[in-house]
Structure 1
Amino acid sequence: MSENNPLPFYLQFTAGAIAGVSEICAMYPLDVVKTRLQLKLGNSHSSILDTFKKIIRNEGFFRLYRGLLAPILIEAPKRATKFAANEQYSVIYRKLFNTNELNQKLSVLTGVSAGITEGALIVPFELIKIRMQDKNNVMILNIAIQVGLYETTMDCATKIYRTEGLMAFYKGLEATLWRHAFWNGGYFGTIHYIRQSIPRRKEEDSRLIDNFIAGTIGGTIGTILNTPFDVVKTRIQGDTSTISRSSWTMSYLLQIAKKEGYGSLRPSIRFRSLYKGFTPKVLRLGPGGGILLVVFELVTRWMKNIA
């Protein structure tokens, strides 16, 4: 992501924060729908539109933004980590492998490394977000009055600490690391490949369009790669039980495929259970990846112009 004169870390931090908050505010309702679909067990299915309608009808429009505060609070360090760590790892790996150019393999490696760093940072915030999005944590008293089991973000954090302990905030850590490693590896690797494959245009507006296309394709590839790990992460973090149980990611993946494969012996059908919530997720993170890259590029360009 570097230009000839990369910005100082604190400016990369700011640019990443602005890009992240812009993306999440625009696409967050799809994230709520994705979580609801992933938390469903067994054969129950709903379309994206049907899930939207049910949430708005039964819980109100603003339920689509429930749990937004936690990801907003983490967006600044999260996106700064994504872009700044990717920059730093690219420098480290170029020195390690004694090369001046970031090739395709190294772009994937830097993305994976940045993803692991990012994932380790955001686990508690992701857990709170999942709990706030889960409809089982909303008690509907009647059509007019709705009271959340977790009333606010701080109330959610407090109750998790009191009932499940401090370490509960790191439930799903391993699955989160897998999720972000695969997404960032796919995202940055795809962006590098597309940028190397198309001629670099001089017109700034044309370059922004190219960046949006590259970011959207990168976000889509990353989502295809990481959705099974996201399903596991959502299930583990959505579990409010204090009973100790196996939560290793790979064994959990096999359990989901076995129990929710709709009774079919066909691998394609069993595999489908690992992609619950994929459509709203890819609708968010495909274009969302494009929004991220474009806003980041716009903000960093503006910062360089006024520097």
Structure 2
Amino acid sequence: MPDIEKLLKQAAMQIGAGGSAGFVEVCIMHPLDLVKTRLQLQSTRTAVHLSDPHYYNGIVDCMKKMYKHEGLTSFWKGILPPILAETPKRAVKFFTFEQYKQFFMFGSSTPTPLTFSLAGLGAGVTEAILVNPFEVVKVTLQSNKALAAQVPSTWTVTRQIVRENGLGSKGLNKGLTATIARNGVFNMVYFGFYHSVKGYIPENQDPLLEFGRKVAIGFTSGVLGSCVNIPFDVAKSRIQGPQPTPGVVKYSSTIGAIRLVYREEGFRALYKGLLPKVLRLGPGGAIMLVVYDYVYHFLESKFEVKH
């Protein structure tokens, strides 16, 4: 098979497998992403928070109040932007990871843990540039505490952002640096750990045990990546979400937002939303890798393409 035809077929398989993995992961885990964003957006130094019916004291409290005030469907607020982003996002993530991996071999005949980590970092940065506009719209929708039926559509919110603030750093690309830092660090740990550890744990001939091996490594990779990149995620939510005082930009830069949160709310505030993030990206990381792997191999058998 000519190299160009093989490359095109592999790209098509990555799009199909990546899109499937992203769609399944988002649909299952989106409610936890929403809870994470809500917890990250609220300040712990709010004088009126005790009387605010929308102030959340944790994951369970957040879910109870959202269900009470906004309805069951509110748990999937802002789901359309990530769904629309997942197919190109996963295609870019996995395809560019393979390309960066070749670049970071540094003369070695086989990939090293450093190769996997740097390739993951590059893939995460590339992914972030692509998906940041979707993230801005998603956070705007997730921060809306009205009844789900009263929340404006994704397209309406997108048009409003563009009309009021344009496409640049104050509009659809707001918080781009924070998104790059968040996605880059996560994927550096995620891919670095997964591919390095996977090489030390041999495949199992039993399909059920092999499934468990992939799930366990994927779960651990997602948890570690979440724990390392959470301060950047908090900064991203603060920058892209509603500012505490309307019309006054309090959070504008990544490092500035991290410093401000640390100074005003303490070190623990930089880890707001960590539990729902871990609960989402631990299983979510496993779901994504397992779905991707099985769909990719299914398409590989159909296309009759071998590495």
For normalisation by structure 2, the TM-score amounts to 0.88
The whole-number CA distance in structure 1 between the counterparts of 2:197 and 2:212 is: 13
1:119 aligns with 2:124: no
% of aligned pairs identical? 38
User: Map of 1:1-307 to 2, 5 A cutoff?
Assistant: 8-43=10-45, 46-94=57-105, 97-136=106-145, 138=146, 147-148=150-151, 151-167=152-168, 168-239=171-242, 247-261=252-266, 271-307=267-303
Number of positions where the alignment pairs a residue of Structure 1 with one of Structure 2: 284
Structure 1 letter corresponding to 2:68: R
Unaligned runs of 5+ residues in structure 1 are 262-270
What is the CA–CA distance in structure 1 between the aligned matches of 2:173 and 2:206, rounded to whole Å?
Answer: 46
Q: CA deviation at 1:207?
A: 2.2
Superimposed CA distance per residue, residues 146-179 of structure 1 (whole angstroms, 9 cap, x where no aligned partner) = 622xx10001001111222222100000000000
Q: Tell me, in whole angstroms, the C-alpha distance in 1 between the residues paired with 2:186 and 2:15.
A: 20
Work out whether residues 71 and 129 of structure 1, in 8 Å CA contact, stay in contact via their aligned partners in 2.
Answer: yes
Contact 2:238 2:251 in 1 (8 A): no
Q: CA deviation at 1:37?
A: 0.4
Checking the alignment, whether the CA contact within 8 Å between 1:164 and 1:242 is kept in structure 2 is no
Q: CA deviation at 1:199?
A: 2.2
For residues 42-97 of structure 1, what are the alpha-carbon distances to aligned partners after superposition, in whole Å with 9 as ceiling and x for unaligned?
24651211111100110000011111111100100011111111111112222xx1
Q: Do the aligned partners of 2:143 and 2:242 also contact (CA within 8 Å) in 1? A: no
Letter in 1 for 2:270: L
CA distance in 2, matches of 1:243, 1:161: 19
Q: Normalization by structure 1: what TM-score?
A: 0.88
Distance 1:289 1:91, change over 3 A: same
Please give the secondary structure, in 2, of the residue aligned with 1:170: coil
Question: What is the letter of the counterpart of residue 117 of structure 2?
Answer: V
- Displacement, 1:201? 2.2
Measured in 2, the distance between the counterparts of 1:204 and 1:85 equals 29
How far apart in 2 are the matches of 1:245 and 1:27?
30
In the aligned structure 2, how far is the partner of 1:169 from the partner of 1:278? Answer: 25
SS in 2 for 1:169: coil
Distance in 2 separating the partners of 1:242 and 1:124: 21
Q: How far apart, CA to CA, are the structure 2 residues paired with 1:289 and 1:13?
A: 18
Is contact 1:187–1:218 with CA below 8 Å preserved after alignment? yes
- Calculate the aligned-residue CA RMSD, in Å: 1.9
Q: CA deviation at 1:243?
A: 5.1
Deviation of residue 28 (structure 1)?
A: 0.5
Question: Shift of residue 242 of structure 1?
Answer: 5.8
Tell me if structure 2 keeps the 8 A contact 1:36–1:135.
no
Change (3 A) 1:246 1:22: closer
Which consecutive residues of structure 2, in runs of 5 or more, have no partner in the other structure? 1-5, 50-55
| Partner AA of 2:277 in structure 1 | K
Q: What's the CA shift for 1:281?
A: 0.7
1:266: which partner in 2?
Answer: none
d(CA) in 2 for partners of 1:245 and 1:170?
A: 17
Cα 1:24–1:246 change in 2 (3 A) is closer
- Shift in Å at residue 245 of structure 1? 6.1
Letter in 1 for 2:178: A
| Kept in 2: contact 1:16–1:80 (CA 8 A) | yes
Amino acid at match of 2:297: R
SS in structure 2 of the partner of residue 113 of structure 1: helix
Q: Which 4+ runs in 1 deviate beyond 4 A? A: 240-246
